[in-house]
Structure 1
Amino acid sequence: MFPWALRHLPGPHQEIFRYQEALQGFIRHEIIRYKLRTPEAPKNFISCYLTQITKAMDDPVSTFNEENLIQVVIDLFLGGIDTTATTLHWALIYMVQHRAVQEKVQQELDTVLGTAPVVCYEDRERLPYTRAVLHEVQRLSSVVAVGAVRKCVTSTRVHGYYISKGTIILPNLASVLYDPEFWETPRQFNPSHFLDKDGNFVVNEAFLPFSAGHRVCPGDQLARMELFLMFATLLRTFQFQLQDGSQGLRLEYIFGGTLQPQPQEICAVPRLSSPSPGPREPV
């Protein structure tokens, strides 16, 4: 009832506030650095926001100010890092669980990319199976089961239900990602959900891990690029497997800001295309 009181109570939660202050300090430093630069055309989010603050200085109801800028950058920073990292963790777990899928992804990468030094985002159009596997990871892991909290700005009706102005709305993204009307095997890992009978990649309208509409995740495109490039590069470079003597995978998630996998060690073994296999490295 009194969240402000947490700052004055001892406990492990104080570590969160220390991290928050450190992150705020880093962003403030970046803002000062941009303000001291010679005036030039805005090139990134911070410089564009600072320009907007200047334009809105005479507007008494403007919400453009440096404190809001700091918070928006924090939201983008945390939202992009945690979700992407958690999705990649699940991807590696599913690849260990489904060795045949992992091998098929690697075969496609080897065939299509050959000796190309790096994976490019444009390569996704030539890698339908790899792309389908990554989409299935996002669907089944559903790391953000409930979308960001929203508030209804005007009274309305949705499918006959009356929603009054001011109602707090939490979109249930998992209900769509696991809907049996749209997915053949909603609770099973199945890359075929995103492939047609000829093996071509297809989009499913129920694939909404980034939400939808005007409030879709602003980092949608960046996250898609990061996930594809990291996943494809990892699978091209390493074979992922459990350590010898392991008791097996733990697939139960930990509920937090995202649905995270249990802590566990997976070995990344360099593939034959690497200079030297070397020792196994836990990841």
Structure 2
Amino acid sequence: MFPWALRYLSGPHQKIFQYHETVRGFIHHEIIRHKLRAPEAPKDFINCYLSQITKAMDDPVSTFNEENLIQVVIDLFLGGTDTTATTLHWALIYLVHHRAIQERVQQELDEVLGASKAICYEDRERLPYTRAVLHEVQRHSSVVAVGAVRQCVTSTWIHGYYMPKGTIILPNLASVLHDPECWETPQQFNPGHFLDKDGNFVANEAFLPFSAGHRVCPGEQLARMELFLMFATLLRTFRFQLPEGSRGLRLEYVFGGTLQPQPQKICAVLRLGSLGPREEGL
């Protein structure tokens, strides 16, 4: 009810605030370094954002300021590390648990890509089943169950509820990703949620792992590319299975900043089809 009160309560969570301030200090230092450089064409995100701050100086309702710049860069750090890695962890666990789905993904990769050496992001258009499986991993795992904390910058009404300026907002993304009105089998891992009757990939407006609106994850496009390229490359190169003597998978999540899978061992076995001519002869 009062998340701001956590800062004034003792406990191990105080380390989060300490780490947060350390990251903020690092980003603030980088912003200063960018400002001290000689004027030049923008070469990175901070340069572009600083340019927008300058352009919007006379706009009284502009949200371009250094405080927001620091927070956006923090969001990019978070979105580019923990969430992407955690999603891939869940992907491997689900495909070991659903062996037939793993084999079908690998069959599609082999048939569509053949012996081509590298996978391109554009290949996703020719890989509807692989794409559907990856989307279902994101939906079913719901790694970011609760979206980033936001604050109302002005008073407003939402579905009949009055939200005064300064209200803390925590979007419940998991409720949308598992809504029975939007998904045929919301509690099951089902790639069919993203396929039509002819096997073509179809989007679903309830697919919101990156949140939505003006506060959507700024690293969404980067994350989409990273996930597809790494997921397809891993499945094309390895067959994933439990080690001999394993007691099975543990599918229950560990609750933290993100919904993490429990630590467990999975074997990556090199697929013969992934070997080049020289490697096959070894």
Q: What's the TM-score once normalised by structure 2's chain length?
A: 0.83
How far the C-alpha of 1:23 sits from its partner, in A, is 4.0
Tell me if 1:274 matches 2:275.
yes
- Runs of 5+ in structure 1 lacking a partner? 278-283
CA distance in 2, matches of 1:35, 1:256: 36
**% of aligned pairs identical?**
78
Aligned amino acid, residue 80 of structure 1: G
Matched residue, 2:219: 219
Superposition pairs for residues 11-90 of structure 1, below 5 Å? 16=16, 19-20=19-20, 23-24=23-24, 26-27=26-27, 30-31=30-31, 33-53=33-53, 69-90=69-90
Once the two structures are TM-superposed, the CA of residue 113 in structure 1 deviates from its matched residue by 0.8
Q: Name the SS of the counterpart of 1:223 in structure 2.
A: helix
The residue aligned with 2:146 is: 146
Q: Give the distance between the partners of 1:188 and 1:70, measured in 2 at CA.
A: 38
Q: Give the aligned residue type for 1:274.
A: L
Q: Which residue of 1 aligns with 2:172?
A: 172
Contact 2:210–2:216 at 8 Å: present in 1 too? yes
Contact 2:79 2:223 in 1 (8 A): no
Say whether 1:162 aligns with 2:161: yes
User: Offset of 1:222 from its aligned partner?
Assistant: 1.6
Match of 2:109 in 1: 109
**Structure 2 residue matching 1:268: 3-state secondary structure:** strand
Contact preservation (8 Å) 2:7, 2:17: no
Question: Mean Cα displacement is larger for which, 124-133 or 258-267?
Answer: 258-267
Which amino acid in the other structure matches residue 190 of structure 1? N
SS at match of 1:239: strand
Q: Say what the alpha-carbon RMSD is for the aligned residues.
A: 2.9
The structure-2 alpha-carbon separation of the partners of 1:46 and 1:189, relative to structure 1 and needing over 3 Å to count, comes to same
Q: 2: distance between equivalents of 1:156 and 1:13?
A: 33
Deviation at 1:219, TM superposition (A): 1.8
Counterparts of 1:23 and 1:170, CA distance in 2: 22
Which runs of 5 or more residues in structure 2 are unaligned? none
| CA distance 1:115–1:68, shift in 2 (3 Å) | same
Partners of 1:216 and 1:68 lie apart in 2 by: 14
| Deviation sequence 1:104-127 (CA, Å, 0-9, x none) | 101111111112111111000000
What's the offset of the Cα at 1:228? 0.8
Contact 2:75/2:218 (8 A) holds in 1: no
1:39 offset after TM fit, Å?
2.1
Gap change, CA 1:68 and 1:147, over 3 Å in 2? closer
Residues 149-189 of structure 1, C-alpha deviations (whole Å, 9 max, x = no match): 3334223241xx33232343322221221122221211111
Report the Cα distance in structure 2 between the residues aligned to 1:57 and 1:169, rounded to whole angstroms. 28
AA aligned to 1:180 is P
Match of 1:208 in 2: 208
Instruction: Report the alpha carbon displacement of residue 35 of structure 1 after superposing the two structures with TM.
Output: 4.1
CA distance in 2, matches of 1:274, 1:211: 39
Match of 1:251 in 2: 251
Label 1:171 to 1:67 Cα distance change in 2 as closer, same or farther (>3 A): closer
- How many pairs align? 272
- Farther-moved stretch of structure 1 (68-77 vs 128-137): 68-77
SS of the residue corresponding to residue 254 of structure 2 reads strand
- Counterparts of 1:192 and 1:3, CA distance in 2: 42
- Does structure 1 conserve the Cα–Cα contact (< 8 Å) formed by 2:75 and 2:217? no
